[in-house]
């Protein structure tokens, strides 16, 4: 199986194969085999790196020691014994096996633009009241009903539930893309909302025939955009647009390759850059870690953790929820992380953490079987 969900891999895997590629930033292509689950793989990699570091340091010490001896004894031309020892040390230096340099992890960094608006900590940026939704009048039961919640500055909200229960439909109602069947949606007049869709070709978020740079060029380039934030005077110039894309690891030929030729994880980076271009105050994410490798997920979690806007995410990635949603305790700057579960046509606040939610689901599965 191909997966970057560490919790899933720890529960299932007995072996890990790591594919290293020059395209991914490694010095050479290779396929490395590790015994054990993902946690064992991580600890083995860290241990191997430490052993290699010590071997490299020992090699450098011995190399300098031999070079110093050779240099010192080379000045004693009148002493045959010294010259004999010097020749011996030269042979030792030539036969010294060089230790390969340590290859660090592929470094992925994501820098998110600051949100556009400035809001009081208690202001309501976005809210829904008594909302219900069904696809058409022929549906007997709505996907959900009686949904109420409020989004404040720096809110961190995760919405969970089984496939088909209406999570994406709820997100589309929040963005205004889809009207509710009943109920109201209210938005602060100065609040910018953007959504990162689970399926990037949906709604023309990505055009498969355009490259990343072309996607950015076709966006409105005013002074309140991300490029305007970088450099208002040159916001429409390619150098500034490329500088913005580099914040998401989109550099070099990556920015010029048509989206249809990119991997799922690379498309996610382009879609994220587009979603954040207008500097949203509320960022809505629909399964943002799908197709992404562990390096990108780690960088994404770090960036979103520090994001000054509000985040609403549909996700079942335990690592993502723990780092982005639940690591934010209630402070003067924000209300802290919230877990909501959409089930049995209702959206309810869950008081526990993701681990307890998972145990609850597993218990139900066992009982039903």
* pLDDT tens sequence across 134-148: 988 777 889 999 999
| Residue 139 DSSP class | -
- Of 335 and 141, the structure prediction assigns the larger pLDDT to 141
Question: How many Å apart are CA 139 and CA 234, to the nearest integer?
Answer: 52
* pLDDT in the model for residue 203: 46
Mean pLDDT of the chain: 85
CA 43 and chain centroid, separation: 22
230-264 per-position pLDDT tens digit = 777 777 788 889 999 998 888 888 899 999 998 88
What was the pLDDT predicted at 212?
94
Give me the domains of the chain, ranges plus CATH numbers: 6-95 (no CATH), 126-368 (3.40.50.300)
- Tell me 225's DSSP state: S
Question: Which two tokens mark 13?
Answer: 């895997």
More confident: 77 or 152: 152
Nearest alpha carbon to residue 134 among 162, 173, 161: 173
Give tens-digit pLDDT for 293-307.
888 888 899 999 999
Cα(262)–Cα(172) distance, integer angstroms? 26
Separation of alpha carbons 317 and 17, rounded Å: 21
Q: Who contacts 135 (Cβ-Cβ below 8 Å, separation ≥6)?
A: 143
Among 76-90, 285-299, 317-331, 341-355, the least confident range: 76-90
Whether the per-residue pLDDT at 114 is higher than 90: the answer is yes
- 48 or 157: which leads in pLDDT: 157
Is the pLDDT assigned to residue 77 strictly greater than 60?
Answer: no
Given a cut of 60, whether residue 65 has pLDDT beyond it is yes
């Amino acid at each position: 199986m191909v997966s970057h969900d560490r919790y899933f891999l720890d529960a299932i895997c007995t072996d890990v194969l790591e594919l290293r590629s020059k395209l991914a930033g490694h010095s050479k292509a290779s396929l490395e085999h590790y015994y054990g689950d993902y946690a064992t793989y991580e600890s083995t990699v860290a241990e191997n790196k430490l052993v290699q570091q010590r071997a490299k340091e020992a090699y450098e010490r011995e190399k300098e020691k031999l070079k110093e001896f050779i240099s010192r004894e080379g000045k004693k031309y009148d002493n045959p014994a010294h010259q004999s020892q010097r020749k011996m040390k030269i042979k030792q230096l030539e036969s010294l096996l060089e230790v390969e340099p340590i290859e660090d992890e592929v470094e992925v960094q994501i820098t998110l633009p600051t949100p556009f608006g400035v809001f009081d900590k208690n202001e309501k940026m976005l809210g829904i009241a008594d909302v219900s939704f069904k696809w058409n009048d022929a549906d007997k039961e709505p996907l959900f009903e009686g949904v109420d919640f409020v989004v404040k500055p720096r809110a961190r909200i995760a919405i969970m539930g089984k496939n088909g229960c209406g999570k994406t439909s709820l997100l589309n109602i929040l963005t205004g893309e889809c009207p509710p069947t009943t109920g109201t949606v209210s938005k602060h007049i100065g609040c910018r909302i953007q959504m990162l869709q689970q399926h990037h070709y949906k709604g023309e978020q990505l055009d498969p025939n355009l490259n990343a740079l072309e996607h950015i060029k076709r966006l409105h380039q005013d002074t309140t955009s991300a490029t305007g934030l970088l450099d208002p005077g040159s916001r429409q110039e390619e150098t500034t647009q490329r500088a913005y894309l580099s914040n998401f690891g989109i550099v070099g030929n990556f920015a010029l390759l048509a989206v249809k030729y990119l991997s799922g994880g690379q498309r996610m980076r382009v879609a994220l850059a587009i979603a954040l271009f207008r500097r949203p105050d509320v960022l809505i994410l629909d399964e943002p870690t799908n197709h992404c490798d562990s390096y990108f997920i780690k960088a994404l979690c770090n960036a979103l953790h520090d994001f000054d806007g509000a985040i609403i995410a549909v996700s079942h990635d335990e690592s993502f929820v723990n780092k982005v949603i639940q690591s934010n305790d209630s402070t003067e700057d924000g209300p802290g992380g919230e877990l909501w579960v959409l089930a049995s046509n209702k959206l309810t606040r869950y008081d526990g953490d993701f681990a307890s939610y998972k145990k609850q689901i597993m218990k139900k599965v066992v009982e039903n079987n």
